[in-house]
Amino acid sequence: MSNIIINPDKTITIDGKKVFMVGLYHMCIDEGSGGIMKECNLTDKTDFILNVESWPPAALFNNNLMYWTIRSSYTSISTIMNKSMFFGYMMADEPVDSQIPTLQTDYTNIKSIDNSHPIILNHYKDLEKWYPYCDILTWDTYMVRDHYYGGSLVLFTREDSIYAYETHCKNGAFKVLELNQIPKPVWAVIQGTGGIDSVNGTLVPTPQEARATTYSAICMDVKGISFWSYHIRPLELRQTTIDLGLYGNQSLWIYYKQIAKELRTFNDILILPTQAYSWYGHEDNTSVLIEPNNSKLVENRTIKRFSYILKKSGNVYYLIVVNKDSTSISNVSITVPMQNLGIAKTLGLETIGSQAAGRILNITNGKFIDSFDSYAVHIYEITQIPCTAPVIDNLIVI
């Protein structure tokens, strides 16, 4: 059995290692009761730490990927809780108020038998209402879309979907409590749909949209990321058509795996204490000054173009900056809390454009200049150049 600890800083420690969780929901399983379920290549998920599947968990017992299970899919907690790769229980997905007594009873009962594995609950709104019935909250907000369920049109263009992601997170999940005011770990579920859902209006994200959404959530100071990877189809087809999920869109699936691998590469950065962060729901324009950082009106709300999160280890800063806009911008001034000279080096797995890893930018008096492609995410490692005193030869002291 894996040793899983929720730390006071809301990070997770698994078998002695603190991790920023990177998970995957249903890479290739059909959605909906009575739908056709199809397993696919489990070994192709190894860029992720955690996986949730709705088929019987025995299919995963011999895989090297940790998993949780939906509570309705197990017959006995005792047959699952001691499995080496078992992570925890999925309490509910978007429950309603009438289910609260059942959630409370189930939470108490599960904990009385197994207090070693966390219980997860997912919702898209009112997270302050749901945290008493779980150990970890996840929330899902999918804004790469052209309409909502039922056909009503969205009040933003697709080009503004990353801005809209922040407004809907603030006014849905965090309209009462900010993310860090919730006393349980909060993870973001990121849109990873591999196909168009004509009923719900969700579209297939581009790689740029996928990466910008992922790091926008990280700029909210989440403690984990998971990808909702159904290839959603119209409801009327779910009973007759096998759904191959994101796995059926191989080019996009490869890119999502790259994002997951990149996040795991950044594990030791993402678990560092947060020095400052800024997004629509928590604006901080002083700890890190980004200029210009113009505002845009999206759904009658004014949102800054850039979001950021700042981490620190010793004398080294790590800064993540997200350009939420669909246009590029040059001559962006970024001022960080350091003095004298320094170097900002871009990190990651990207190889082209402004996001490319390995670019070196000079810092003077805590300020450097950079340019951002559309939807670009820059991850900087910022180091200060030691200041050395000049050597004076033939100094005579009188």
Q: Write the pLDDT tens digit of every residue in 134-167.
A: 999 999 999 999 999 888 999 999 999 999 999 9
The model's pLDDT over 173-188, given as tens digits with 9 standing for 90+, comes to 999 999 999 999 999 9
Count up the domains in the chain and report the number: 2
Place 86 in a pLDDT band, splitting at 50, 70 and 90: confident
My answer on whether 137 and 241 are in the same domain is: yes
The model's pLDDT over 277-299, given as tens digits with 9 standing for 90+, comes to 999 999 999 999 999 999 999 99
Instruction: Report the CATH number that the domain containing residue 366 is assigned in CATH.
Output: 2.60.40.1180
Distances in Å between the Cα of 295 and the Cα atoms of 122, 155, 268, 280, 323 are 31, 17, 32, 10, 12
Q: Which range is most confident: 39-43, 73-77, 97-101?
A: 97-101
- Residue 167 pLDDT: 96
Is residue 378 within 8 A of residue 320, CB to CB? The reply is yes
Q: Does position 36 have pLDDT exceeding 70, yes or no?
A: no
The model's pLDDT over 374-398, given as tens digits with 9 standing for 90+, comes to 999 999 999 998 766 555 555 454 5
Would you say residue 391 lies in a domain? no
> Between β-strands 12-14 and 17-19, what pairing exists: parallel, antiparallel or unpaired?
antiparallel
24 versus 56: the higher-pLDDT residue is 24
- Residue 234 pLDDT: 46
Would you say residue 74 lies in a domain? yes
Distances in Å between the Cα of 184 and the Cα atoms of 7, 40, 97, 266, 328 are 10, 33, 20, 22, 37
Alpha-carbon distance of 384 to 364, in angstroms, equals 10
> Between β-strands 4-6 and 12-14, what pairing exists: parallel, antiparallel or unpaired?
antiparallel
- Residue 340 pLDDT: 83
My answer on whether 251 and 325 are in the same domain is: no
The model's pLDDT over 242-258, given as tens digits with 9 standing for 90+, comes to 455 677 778 888 999 99
Q: Closest Cα partner for 4 from 70, 75, 66, 79?
A: 66
My answer on whether 229 and 323 are in the same domain is: no
The whole-chain average pLDDT of the chain stands at 86
My answer on whether 370 and 288 are in the same domain is: yes
Q: Does position 92 have pLDDT exceeding 60, yes or no?
A: yes
331 versus 236: the higher-pLDDT residue is 331
My answer on whether 14 and 115 are in the same domain is: yes
- Residue 248 pLDDT: 72
Alpha-carbon distance of 351 to 273, in angstroms, equals 28
Place 59 in a pLDDT band, splitting at 50, 70 and 90: very low
- Residue 46 pLDDT: 78
Question: Left if phi > 0, otherwise alpha if psi is -120 to 50, otherwise beta: which for 26?
Answer: left
Domain that holds residue 129: 4-270
- Residue 42 pLDDT: 57
Instruction: Report the CATH number that the domain containing residue 125 is assigned in CATH.
Output: 3.20.20
- Residue 197 pLDDT: 75
